[in-house]
Amino acid sequence: MLDYISDKVQDETRQGEAFAPFTVDPNQYKKLFYIESYGCQMNFSDSEIVASILNKEGFGATRNFEDADLVLLNTCSIREKAEQTVRKRLTEFKKLKNAKPGLLIGMLGCMAERLKSKLLEEEKLVDLVVGPDAYRTLPGLIIEAESGQKAVNVLLSRDETYADISPVRLDSNGITAFVSIMRGCNNMCSFCVVPFTRGRERSRDSVSIINECRDLFERGFREVTLLGQNVDSYYYQPLQAPQREGMAYTQGQLKENSESSQSEVSAKVAFPIGEGRDGAEIVTFPNLLEKVALISPLLRVRFSTSHPKDITDEVLHIMAKHENICKYIHLPVQSGSSRILQLMNRTYTREWYMAKVDRIREIIPDCGLSSDIIAGFCTEEDADHKDTLSIMEYSRYDMSYMFFYSERPGTLAERRYKDDVPLDVKKKRLQEIVDVQGKLSFVSNKNDIGKTFQVLIEGDSKRSNKDWMGRSSQNKVIVFPKENYQFKKGDYVTVRVNDCTQATLLGQIIIN
Ligand code: 5AD
Ligand code: SF4
């Protein structure tokens, strides 16, 4: 039962999805690539950048790995299980490689960054190892690998944002899209490997973000999700953006570079608020959110992920002001115990988090809320676990991603603390967390019965092409019969909820 839970509840649903362009691609390609993505939404978004780079090199996407000349796995390192899944998947390509000796196999993403050339020793099958900031060098690396050499580039960069690369929308429904606004993370949560695999935080040029969102809207998309590990610390200062050339650095240099990041911080306050050098406009996250919202009232805007310490009243007020900014915040708590939060280096206490939830509910009374929760972090006791259960009840999350703690090599927690909660205790606590969330989701959905919501139609429901599937502003999935109305994907409709399950609202179109 628990294994079932750990597959179904802890991992997002799209793991290992293979991608190809949604529409038939009219271009003729000399070669084909196949890409599978694992982990967070950022990886899925990066695969779209990789696809764009490869298209320019004459590689077309295929959904069948048997047809591919290049097989890529865009990997995740966040938990041990994510890495095991990828390693297992790799063995399945062995036969293919034996039958097709010219086939190249590449590892991209966080596992590539974490293991570097060690991956080549451990996985003999692999020809290419490319970290998340090195995708521009893929064409050269492929040529190198084609000549029979193993090719590796895992340099992290201080300023790579792929701002000028127009992502190829893979497997898109044509209505909702993810737009990356920043990369990396400076937070150093003690359990997390991301600061090591994705490097330091950097924000993408706001003009390129807005242009990408406007372009998506003009192509018929109706919802953009602004993506980043920590979107609320978005900060773009046009004239101070460093040059890309010569700025690459490796993980080993991360520490030395922390001094220069100090000077970056002091540079940030050297100008009047809102202005950079020569009066160039500084763009913060609330500014960016508003600019994207102003593209059109018909374009919905979402964002993810928010660190509780960084989401400000200003963001909440901008959300409240614009109807098309969705009333939904993913606000990972990780633990409800102040003691554990301190060990996790989350920089807030239980009470501080609860006050943040109060503030959200005060400014945006109908806001949907979700969380990430870790069971069984180092030294966690029953009392700490109870604090987690009670903060869940307090926050009334509509949904959560729930995990048990998995020690990751090189993280602060691995170096400082003992992973001392036995696996069976971790799993038992996780099960209790899952149960509480199940109950909260069901209560939250039941509370919506009788209410009406504006729903953006994303497509047919999974079960029947007689039903539409869409989402409310609060990010809840709503399924409702098409009836005889002539609505289509991308339309907004008013839907009254008349039933629900734990995961889905069921409704009916209301015509005023
Ligand atoms: N073990 C378990 N869960 C983790 N997460 C990050 N690192 C770990 C780890 N070592 C979870 C956190 C984070 C989410 C993306 O993954 O809850 O918010
Ligand atoms: Fe990891 Fe914390 Fe950064 Fe999220 S905010 S990516 S959990 S270090």
Ligand 2 centroid from CA 183, angstroms: 12
Give me the pLDDT at residue 278, please: 54
DSSP 15: T
Give me the pLDDT at residue 28, please: 77
Ligand 1 centroid from CA 2, angstroms: 18
CA distances from 183 to 109, 230, 304, 367, 476 (A): 13, 9, 12, 26, 27
Give me the pLDDT at residue 13, please: 52
Give me the pLDDT at residue 20, please: 60
**pLDDT tens digits, 241-293:** 444 433 333 333 333 333 333 333 333 333 444 555 555 789 999 999 999 99
Ligand 2 centroid from CA 21, angstroms: 31
Closest ligand 2 atom to residue 186 Cα is 3
Give me the pLDDT at residue 253, please: 34
Task: Tell whether ligand 1 has an atom less than 6 A from the beta carbon of residue 51.
Answer: no
> Which of 12, 374, 399, 408 to mutate to test ligand 1, by most ligand atoms within 8 A of the CB atom?
374
Give me the pLDDT at residue 94, please: 86
Give me the pLDDT at residue 279, please: 58
- Dist CA 107 CA 93 (whole Å): 12
Low-confidence ranges of the chain (pLDDT < 70): 1-14, 17-26, 239-279, 512
- Dist CA 331 CA 398 (whole Å): 11
Q: Which of 430, 320, 301, 428 is nearest to 364 (CA)?
A: 320
CA distances from 29 to 60, 108, 139 (A): 5, 22, 15
- Whose atoms come closest to the Cα of 388: which ligand? 1
Ligand 2 centroid from CA 189, angstroms: 6
Quickly tell me which residue has 């000796």 as its tokens.
Answer: 101
Ligand 1 centroid from CA 332, angstroms: 10
Q: Which residues pair with 399 in a beta bridge?
A: 370
CA 81 to chain centre: 18
> Which of 6, 76, 191, 310 to mutate to test ligand 1, by most ligand atoms within 8 A of the CB atom?
191
Ligand 1 centroid from CA 18, angstroms: 24
Query: What is the reported pTM?
Result: 0.89
DSSP 171: S
DSSP 65: G
- Dist CA 505 CA 267 (whole Å): 49
Task: Tell whether ligand 1 has an atom less than 6 A from the beta carbon of residue 332.
Answer: yes
Closest ligand 1 atom to residue 191 Cα is 10
Write out the E strands in 253-308: 283-284, 300-304
Closest ligand 2 atom to residue 305 Cα is 4
CA distances from 487 to 475, 492, 494 (A): 20, 9, 11
The amino acid at residue 35 is I
**pLDDT tens digits, 436-449:** 999 999 999 999 99
Closest ligand 2 atom to residue 229 Cα is 6
- Whose atoms come closest to the Cα of 40: which ligand? 1
Closest ligand 1 atom to residue 192 Cα is 7
Give me the pLDDT at residue 280, please: 72
Q: Which of 56, 57, 65 is nearest to 34 (CA)?
A: 65
Give me the pLDDT at residue 30, please: 86
Ligand 1 centroid from CA 480, angstroms: 34
- Whose atoms come closest to the Cα of 197: which ligand? 2
- Dist CA 212 CA 326 (whole Å): 19
